[in-house]
Amino acid sequence: MVDRQLAIETDLTDLSANAWMGAVDELCEEFGFFEQLGQTHFAGFLEAGNNLLVTFENAPTVQARNANAEPRGFAYARHDGWSHLALFSTQESWFRDEAVYDFFDRMVDDGFFEDFAKIIFHGGDGGAAYAAAAFSVSAPGSTVIALRPQATLDATIAGWDGRYLAARKYDFRGRYGYAPAMIEAASDVFIAYDPIQRIDACHAALFLKPHVTALPCPLLGTALDQAFDRMGIHDILIKLAMDNALDRKRFVQLLRARRYDLSYVRALVRRLVRTGHPRLAVIICDYMLRRGHDAFFTEKRAELIAVGDGQTQ
């Protein structure tokens, strides 16, 4: 397969859900294929080059948050010549659907993944990270990037996670079920999570394999994909992984960009106050105010100085 950048020009913003899916369908049919999988899932493929990015995405989230409301992999097909396989869900389903299992079974039987030199499975919020890990077993030797994955929502294993009670109706014991077991055939697995989010940290700890690299992201919360996008490191992270150049040291270097992320700095100030370090909180507020940032730092500084906790003299 020869690498080729696809001339796809899209602006999928301000479309209804059906119109958006129809536009994605049309683009994928032109350059690859598009297939409905049951009632709530779809698969779209763009054929470009020898590298393949497999993404799991919730369609409403793509429409609401992604640039030009397009699937994450479209930009790589356009600029880098990567092939892209996108699995879409119309709701938070953790991709637990027999039609999705059958699709991956068929891709394995057809030798679909054997045509690519390098494959990345990527997933973020809404169960997509879980799915990226779980379905990576279909492409041995692939790399997994899972941002805040759940290992399972099976109550017999993860009964301590009471956040997704409605999702307990899905079967997490069948095919492609327990994500930490499904990553055994992967070459590298990167698990990003916020260790301060204790339940997320518990899930991350279940991915205990020699080829797993834990990527702690303190104070970045439960929307790591959005945080990485804000900091401008998401694209770099994926490209480093595709080049076999991603490791924990390189990730820590990338994570330094959080010092410029307002959401992170606000969370840091709140935590410093909560853990008894008000003077450090005031120093950070002063720094952010010198950079011309928002009213939060003015108000928090005034509050600390007023009670004498942030006195810096």
Any idea what the Cα angle at residue 82 is, between residues 77 and 86, rounded to 5°?
70
pLDDT band for 313, please (50, 70, 90 cuts): very low
- The first and second tokens of residue 102, run together, are 């059958």
Question: Which of 243-252, 283-292, 301-310 has the highest mean predicted lDDT (pLDDT)?
Answer: 243-252
DSSP characters over 53-68? EEEEEEHHHHHHHSGG
- The first and second tokens of residue 156, run together, are 């017999």
pLDDT tops 60 at residue 311: no
**Cα–Cα nearest to 123, from 142, 108, 106, 99:** 142
Which pLDDT score is estimated for 309?
A: 61
Which residue has 């492409």 as its token pair? 139
Which pLDDT score is estimated for 57?
A: 96
Which pLDDT score is estimated for 85?
A: 98
Percent of the chain predicted with pLDDT > 90: 90
Rounded Cα gap, residues 311 and 293, in angstroms: 21
Which pLDDT score is estimated for 75?
A: 92
**Cα–Cα nearest to 75, from 238, 231, 240:** 238
Single pTM value for the model: 0.94
Rounded Cα gap, residues 91 and 81, in angstroms: 30
Domains and CATH numbers, the chain: 17-258 (3.40.50), 262-306 (no CATH)
Rounded Cα gap, residues 63 and 219, in angstroms: 26
Around 246, how many Cα atoms within 13 Å sit in the side-chain half-sphere? 29
Reduced to 3 states (helix: H, G, I; strand: E, B; else coil), residue 293 is coil
**Per-residue pLDDT tens digits for 135-160:** 999 999 999 999 999 999 999 999 99
**Per-residue pLDDT tens digits for 176-209:** 999 999 999 999 999 999 999 999 999 999 999 9
